[in-house]
Amino acid sequence: MTRRSLLQTLGAAAAGGAVPQVSGQRRRRPYDIVIKNGEVRDPSRGLKARADVAVHDGKIAEVASEIPAERGREVIDAKGLYVTPGLVDLHTHIVYGVRSGIEADPIAARSGTSTWIDAGTFAYDQIEGFRRFIVDRNQCRVFGFVYLYPASRNPDIDPLKYVSGLMDATGRAASANRDIVLGVKFQVGSNMNGRYSHDFLKIARRLCDEYDLRLLVHISTAPPETEEVMKLLKPGDVVTHCFNEHTLGIVDRDTGKLKPSVKEARLRGVLFDVGHGSGSFNFESARRALDQGFLPDSISSDIYSANMNGPVFDLPTTMSKLLYLGMTFDDVLKCSTVNPARVVTPLPKLGTLQVGAPGDVALLSVEDGAFELIDAQRNKVTAKQRIVSHLTICKGKRLVAPV
Ligand SMILES: [Zn+2]
């Protein structure tokens, strides 16, 4: 491709966003990092081109057909690699030491995952600790959903009164920490909450309405039924574990068809997230939904200590499973960058490579070969491709796995 046609490609692809420029002489100060010779993929604006990317002062500083190597204090050769926005994992458990929380940074460094969203490992009275020991101490970006769980097992306490009693404290704490708390996580399903699950969900609904918070719901085992859950969800709310094989799922187990209430929920703006985890991603369930044109809005790992050594491993492995099932690399990337970034309301432009966006970049490749992939029910498949991370840049710096 000639330089001129590449520029046209860049300009056309960037319609609606910042138009990439050829690096000119206007700016003499060196950039912190220049990434050269990579294939840039930025699904936020449909940008697909060979281009160079500069990162400076923790932000994306320039995307252009050529940025001279001498402009970078550090120069990274990305020949043969995709240069993408840093990956955003919408469902993780990274409150180390609390339940099955893991340390984020070591996996962030090797997985291209620069943003980690904890999906309800902490309660309202643990937000301060979450900020101080998890958000502030990690090199990667960390946000979270606070949980509203009926944690009391005291038979003398009315569970509904107990959970209602947590409502205001949870709402107030989440509101006071909107820079890191993205909403409320609630687990729906009889395996978690017994016969009160639907009532608890209504309390979570009321909480989110009163305090203007996003609701993230885990679906697992009925009751309640999918229809009852969908009815309580509003635009911007997120359903996680959408490709589970349990009774509280998005596909009718008898007919194999998507449930009408799920289609309606998507139409009104409810988001559907993968949330792989130890029990919630099944190849057949995913295939049935994908065959009906139902792609997830976001791909997330639901990584925690019990699955980090398999079957989850990390976000690129989960992405590889969706690639195996027929999603395109670009769609998979969209579901792991700009789409999940939309729930990170405190940080606009996250999940993109637009100039001025947070300086988060992943260097990825799609390897060919024969790779075993395992779902949550331990079904094995052999994939011909897998997504591999080569480098994570977060807040303008390379992430290096702590020794
Ligand atoms: Zn989870």
Torsion of CA 104, 105, 107, 111, to 10 degrees: 110
Contact between 211 and 174 under an 8 Å Cβ cutoff? The reply is: yes
The rounded Å distance from CA 119 to ligand 1 centre is: 6
The rounded Å distance from CA 186 to ligand 1 centre is: 10
- What does the pLDDT read at residue 162? 87
Domain ranges in the chain with CATH number 2.30.40.10: 3-80
The rounded Å distance from CA 352 to ligand 1 centre is: 25
The rounded Å distance from CA 100 to ligand 1 centre is: 10
What residues pack around ion ligand 1 (CB closer than 5 A)?
119, 302
pLDDT tens for 161-187 read: 888 999 999 999 999 999 999 999 998
CATH architecture for residues 3-80: Roll (2.30)
Full-model pTM: 0.92
Domain 86-349 bears CATH identifier 3.20.20.140: yes
The rounded Å distance from CA 131 to ligand 1 centre is: 19
The rounded Å distance from CA 21 to ligand 1 centre is: 42
The rounded Å distance from CA 92 to ligand 1 centre is: 6
The rounded Å distance from CA 62 to ligand 1 centre is: 36
The rounded Å distance from CA 337 to ligand 1 centre is: 19
Identify the segments of the chain with pLDDT beneath 50: 1-21, 23-25
- What does the pLDDT read at residue 194? 62
